[in-house]
Structure 1
Amino acid sequence: MAAPRPPPTRLSGVMVPAPIQDLEALRALTALFKEPRNRNLDTISVAVDLILLFRELRVEQESLLTAFRCGLQFLGNIASRNEDSQAVVWMHAFPELFISCLNHPDKKIVAYSSMILFTSLNPGRIKELEENLNIAINVIEAHQKQPESEWPLLIITDHFLKSPELVQAMYAKLSNQERVTLLDLVVAKLVGDEPLTADDLSAFLRHAELMAGSFVDQCGTVLKLTSEQHPEDAEVLATVRLLDVLCEMTANTELLGYLQVFPGLLERVIDLLRLIHVAGKDTINIFSTCDCIKEGDVSSVAEGFKSHLIRLIGNLCYKNKDNQDKVNELDGIPLILDSCRIDDNNPFLTQWVVYAIRNLTEDNAQNQDVIAKMEDQGLADTSLLKKMGFEVEKRGGKLILKSSSDGPSRE
């Protein structure tokens, strides 16, 4: 005859059956701690110890993995919307639990430990992550491996990107592939439906400094792609993503002014445009126009790169006479006009050239005169200028560049 079941026990006013197995007890506690009144019963340290034990044992048995997951869910529930519980969880769990669980092969364990980290983080604790960068890097890796999991994503977008100090410290330690992952999320934040808040803008001004400085220092790496056996390396892809970030940052009026005066940025962009433009003409490579490249030779790494360089020049010259003049001084206007070719590898290239030329010539008689003289000397294609929405007119012996009445055509 089976032994009689023990009578129910009372936990903070809630009746629960006495556990038959540890796993069932853990599940029951996990459910109970969804209720705020059942928290802070001095079980957090025990739960953390058990979780660390499970990690140390490298458990593979499904029942033990389930207990492992339930332990993490328990901590997540106990910390949810309760600052006192979050403080206790952080005290006992940081940093060992996150170091142990964020790189676990089990997806649920990674997700649940990410949930605990997201729930517990605040500006003060972000400072502690700066001294434990491996945890922050593990979050980036977790998002790489599980892009469908919301918790690593939320940690990065709602916590990391609000801390320029953490991002700067972390960026220096990330691999190039991890940098690409972070930069993709920066772009997503910039182009998202929700506008940047005042706090976001304060942080993104600092991010802009990091991104612009990194691009100025590293952008020459894309020239690797001009070789016949160009490598598909992550360093080049990271540079391409930096350009994407800068294009989106300069599309934000709050960030544009800072980047328009960033030392060396405009000059470096023009230099790079010239280098890849010449390289694409001199030999057949990834920067050549599409009719010069055989099918199958094009790498997606550099797709749109020239378009984005010209877009960035246009943005940096928007209502900024100093930058308009600087482009002229660097012979950038003929370079931009000569780049206006139909190229399947650079979508919307013509449109970005039109945009850049309009920003370069707006309220700038000197730059208008440069283009007018180019047309008169046969150095600028009249049909191309007309397609871009410009025409040259002689008035009293002087050449005038003006917008045509039809405006630019679209392709």
Structure 2
Amino acid sequence: MMSWNKLIFPKEMVGESLPEFNGLEGVLQPLLSASNSSSLKEALEILIKVSRTAAARAELALRNILPTVLKLVESFHQTSSREYLVNSLKLLRNLCAGEVANQNAFFEQNGVEVVLSVLRSAALLSNPDSGVIRVSLQVLANVSLAGEDHQQAIWLKFFPNEFSVLARVRSQETNDPLCMILYTCCDRRPGLVAELCRDMGLPIVVGIIRTVASVGFGEDWFKLLLSRLCLEDIHFPLVFSKSCEGSSSENSGNTDSGDDLFLSEQAFLLRIISEILNERIEEIQVSSEFALCVLGIFKRSVRVVDFASRGMSSLPTGCTSIDVMGYSLIILRDICAREGVGDLKNDSLDVVDMLLSHELIDILLSLLRDLDPPAIIRKVLKEGDNQGLNLSASKLCPYKGFRRDMIAVIGNCAYRRKHVQDEIRQKNGILLLLQQCVTDDDNPYLREWGIWSLRNLLEGHAENQQAVADLELQGSVDMPELSRLGLRVEVDQKTRRAKDFALPPDQVLVSECHLQFQHGMIFWCDTSKVH
């Protein structure tokens, strides 16, 4: 049987000469022996390559290689031999990847302190050495996976000051492993989560958010960390408020647009939170504190957003207040998409009903009424004989999709909630929602969300169905655009009321409405007729 050395170290990879390293020859011997090499550089390169496999890591653990590598890291850090330092750190990182014996040896040999010294030197440079920082953090990240003792050792050495310094390094390649360390240490340890979200720890979180907002992220550890702090726990309000402190955002003084109330880091935080919630909508149960905080942010943003100009882009728009409003609205949409979402502390409390008790529907209906109608309806009104209708709404959609997102929230809230169905009818919202069942270039998928909302408004609700049947015709226009939509109503010529109205046949609404697919009419009504 071939020896392990001969199996993984071909003869052509073996070096020929040993450089002088200030008396390190004795220390180097285990590495040279394990790699069948006489050159330290080649030995490190060979061992880095082979240690990518679990079998090789286990064999190197039996040879007790890790203490030798730690000594190299310490020595090369002191002598500023960067190439050898980086390669020694890479080997150390690989050795600690899932191999418990090596992780324990690192812990027992005071490896945390050794790596901390390297990180302090690299991070405090006027131009931080992101390459050294990244590999050093990867070492600690792999060690942190070994268990609570290893995590505690890292936490005690690095929290809060060292973590704060590292969080301010504006580098994606260093931020990813930093987030991995923090998440691994905090996961299933509420005490550390609480520490991270108190006064001493919040600068770390805020620093990470600002770094990611500036340079982005390459791995999911940032999202996992934010999810743990803001969605799975109750710390979102504090993280959001602290994200505006000490920022140098360019838009922080843009008082004309209302952006003095919010900063770009806060808009970015909401954007990432909205992505996380949408990606994990089936598994995350948000707390009532989180939901109320987001609703409060939405209300504040509505007060400062300028609705005088029609938005020409979707989110993100680059205007902080508009982005804050849009992403908070999307978060509300996804919160309301889950039927019977429970509070973390009291599963009997429906978070959606809690939002509704804080006038969510009333706010959205008021905003919707103030917006000018969708483009196709504006065209109908201009070309038709509808002189009595208001064609000049005071507000325009500030971003592409704003109307659609509001309709989505309303539709999700109305799903199998009779009190919401009642509230919309009582506030004369039925016709308003009917007007949203159209295509609109400024609101992609508005028609689909409008149909969904109308379906939820009418499902199993005889009064709402009758209210639709009682709508009185005020005017109609035959237009090709409406024919293509399949949106129409059939009117009883004697009563001037809707006899049948129709949406496209591929959309399912409640059967009690007796919907038919025909062509070419749209109707408007005297809202005093809707009860």
Aligned to 2:297: 214
Q: Pick one of 85, 98, 108 that aligns with 2:150.
A: 85
The separation in 1 between residues aligned to 2:475 and 2:288, in whole angstroms, is 40
The residue type paired with residue 367 of structure 1 is: N
1:315 to 412, 437, 454: 412
The residue matched to 2:223 in structure 1 has which SS?
helix
As a proportion of its length, which structure holds more helix? 1
Q: Deviations over 1:244-264 (max 9, x none)?
A: 122222222233953243321
Give me the whole-angstrom Cα distance separating, in 2, the residues matched to 1:398 and 1:91. 74
Contact kept? 2:171, 2:211, Cα under 8 Å:
no
1:333 matched to which residue of 2?
A: 430
Note closer, same or farther for the CA distance 1:130–1:180 as it changes in structure 2 (3 Å cut). same
Distance 2:168 2:147 in 1: 26
Aligned to 2:515: 404
Give 1:14's aligned residue. 64
Q: 1:272 aligns with which of 363, 367, 376?
A: 367
Task: State the secondary structure of the residue aligned to 1:104.
Answer: coil
- Aligned counterpart, 2:139: 74
Cα distance between partner residues in 2 of 1:181 and 1:8: 49
How far apart in 2 are the matches of 1:218 and 1:67?
42
Task: Name 1:370's counterpart in structure 2.
Answer: 467
Shift of 1:268: 0.4
Question: 1:403/1:354 Cα in 2 relative to 1: closer, same or farther (>3 Å)?
Answer: farther
Query: Which residue in 2 is equivalent to 1:39?
Result: 106
Once the two structures are TM-superposed, the CA of residue 127 in structure 1 deviates from its matched residue by 0.3
Please give the alpha-carbon distance, in whole angstroms, between the structure 1 residues aligned to 2:194 and 2:145.
21
1:246 aligns with 2:332: yes
Letter in 1 for 2:372: H
* Whole-angstrom CA distance in 1 between matches of 2:171 and 2:468: 62
Q: 1:259 aligns with which of 349, 352, 359?
A: 352
Q: Aligned AA for 2:400?
A: E
1:133–1:170 contact (8 Å) kept in structure 2 = yes
- Alpha-carbon displacement from aligned partner over 1:312-360 (angstroms, at most 9, x marks no partner): 2222222222222222222222333344554211123233333323322
**Structure 1 gap segments, 5+ residues each:** 288-300
Structure-2 change in CA distance of 1:365 and 1:75 (3 Å): closer
Contact 2:287 2:351 in 1 (8 A): no
CA distance in 2, matches of 1:368, 1:237: 37
RMSD: 3.9
Answer with 1 or 2: which has the greater Rg.
2
Which of 441, 444, 466 does residue 344 from structure 1 map onto?
441
What residue is the counterpart of 2:10 in the other structure? Answer: none
The 1-side partners of 2:476 and 2:152 are apart by 67
Native 8 Å contact 1:318 1:359 kept in 2: yes
Contact 1:371/1:380 (<8 A) preserved: no
| Structure-2 change in CA distance of 1:139 and 1:111 (3 Å) | same
* Partner SS, residue 226 of structure 1: coil
SS of structure 1 residue aligned to 2:184? helix
SS in 1 for 2:235: helix
Aligned partner of residue 39 in structure 1, secondary structure: helix
CA distance in 2, matches of 1:65, 1:172: 29
- Is the contact made by 2:122 and 2:133 (CA closer than 8 Å) also made in structure 1? yes
Which stretch shows the higher mean deviation, 16-25 or 97-106? 16-25
**TM value normalised by structure 2:** 0.62
1:151 corresponds, among 221, 229, 239, to 221
8 Å contact kept, 1:212–1:246:
yes
Partner of 1:105: 170
TM-score by length of 1: 0.78
Output the CA distance in 2 between the equivalents of 1:96 and 1:162.
Answer: 26
SS at match of 1:225: coil
Deviation, structure 1 residue 117: 1.9
Please list the CA deviations of residues 346-391 of structure 1 after superposition, one character each: whole Å capped at 9, or x if unmatched: 123233333323322333333333332323x436889979945765
Q: Which runs of 5+ in 2 are unaligned?
A: 1-18, 31-60, 245-262, 343-349, 379-390, 501-512, 521-531
What does residue 298 of structure 1 align with? none
Say if 1:215 and 1:239, in contact at 8 Å, map to a contact too: yes
Distance 1:14 1:177, change over 3 A: same
CA distance in 2, matches of 1:396, 1:408: 21
Q: Does the aligned pair in 1 maintain the 2:175–2:208 contact within 8 Å? A: no
State the Cα deviation string for residues 175-213 of structure 1 (Å, max 9, x = none). 443333333333333332x5533xx31x35543232223
Q: Is 1:126 aligned to 2:193, yes or no? A: yes
Q: Which has the higher contact order (CA 8 A, sep 6+)?
A: 1
